[in-house]
Structure 1
Amino acid sequence: MKAPALALLGLLAALPAPRPAQAQLDPGWEPKREAQLQALDKVTARITIIKAPVNQPVTFGTLRVTVRACNARPASEVPDAAVWLQVDDTRNDSGGKPVFQGWMFANAPGIAMLEHPVYDLRVLDCH
């Protein structure tokens, strides 16, 4: 490979990856400000509906959940929501141990799931 090509590859590798909220959306998705999540405590069978504003951490039990992006389908299409979540467990560490990071989809909860012995999270909607 020639030196200019190597320099370009090095420059591209050094660039930070785009944050989920900055990624270009498919025209069929609309950005929203708040996610509606369903949280389940498997020990007590308690179900809680959580309203989580984008970039504002909320807690459920020992989980700290931060929504980084929340997108919904337009009203003219089949309803769906896609949420980029960052979930930390603060049980043994007040700073939080990461237990999930990625997209969750309301219409396909089995694609990406939180695997936790005590808690379950599911995306319901974006507003």
Structure 2
Amino acid sequence: MFKAPIYASIAALFLALPALAQDDPIDLTELLQGLESDVVPLEPVQTQRSEIALTAESGVVRVLDKLTGDRIDLTLQSGETGHLGFLLVTLNECRYPENNPAGDAFISMRIHYRDEAAPVFSGWMIASSPALNALDHQRYDVWALRCITS
């Protein structure tokens, strides 16, 4: 019984809202000037610490063939190339923190698929953050595992 007038009132209100919003623009400059006096400058905080990275002679990389399920851990010397299926992985350099040799490994590698001239990946991978700079390939996954220090 009372539904039709209520719905008509609500519809009229919604139709009038855009017109009401256009009539009264808000001046943000006065609002921002009032806020500037309340801002307190913060003291600088040193958040970055420097660590020394050492270079290892070799490193370990894990390669997974998602199609066949084959998985292999490749232990490669700097400059050496290993393979799984059609994927060729060349380890350029392996670095690790001086204070924590068993810690984070940073491995620079170049990865080729089949005999293509252009690599499908070229850069650094970090063992603790594999998704940070990952190989984007439909068939293969590659992870940096660790540097071999001895």
TM-score in terms of structure 2 length? 0.60
> Which residue type is aligned with residue 99 of structure 1?
V
Partner of residue 87, structure 1:
111
Match of 1:119 in 2: 140
Aligned pairs, number: 99
Q: Is the 8 A contact 1:64 1:96 kept in 2?
A: no
Q: Which residue of 1 aligns with 2:74?
A: 50
Structure 1 unaligned blocks of 5 or more:
1-25
User: How many Å separate the matches in 2 of 1:76 and 1:32?
Assistant: 13
1:98 to 119, 123, 144: 119
Q: Could you give the per-residue CA deviations for residues 39-81 of structure 1, whole angstroms, max 9, x where no partner exists? A: 1110122221111111011111111111111111235477100
Distance 1:77 1:98 in 2: 30
Q: TM-score, normalised by structure 1?
A: 0.70
Larger radius of gyration between Structure 1 and Structure 2? 2
Structure 1 letter corresponding to 2:70? R
Q: 1:73 aligns with which of 70, 89, 97?
A: 97
Taking a change above 3 Å as real, the CA distance of residues 107 and 58 of structure 1, as seen in their structure-2 partners, is: same
CA–CA distance in structure 1, aligned partners of residues 109 and 61 of structure 2: 11
- The one of 110, 116, 121 equivalent to 2:131 is 110
Using a 3 Å threshold, how does the CA distance of structure 1 residues 96 and 63 change in structure 2: closer, same or farther?
Answer: farther
Structure 2: runs of 5 or more not aligned: 1-49
Q: How far is the alpha carbon of 1:100 from its aligned partner?
A: 0.2
Whichever structure has more helix as a proportion of its residues is: 2
Q: Within 5 Å, give how 1:28-47 maps onto structure 2.
A: 28-47=52-71
AA aligned opposite 2:63: A
Q: Which has the higher contact order (CA 8 A, sep 6+)?
A: 1
Q: Which amino acid aligns with 1:122?
A: W
Q: Secondary structure at the match of 1:103?
A: strand
In 2: Cα distance, 1:104 partner to 1:117 partner: 18
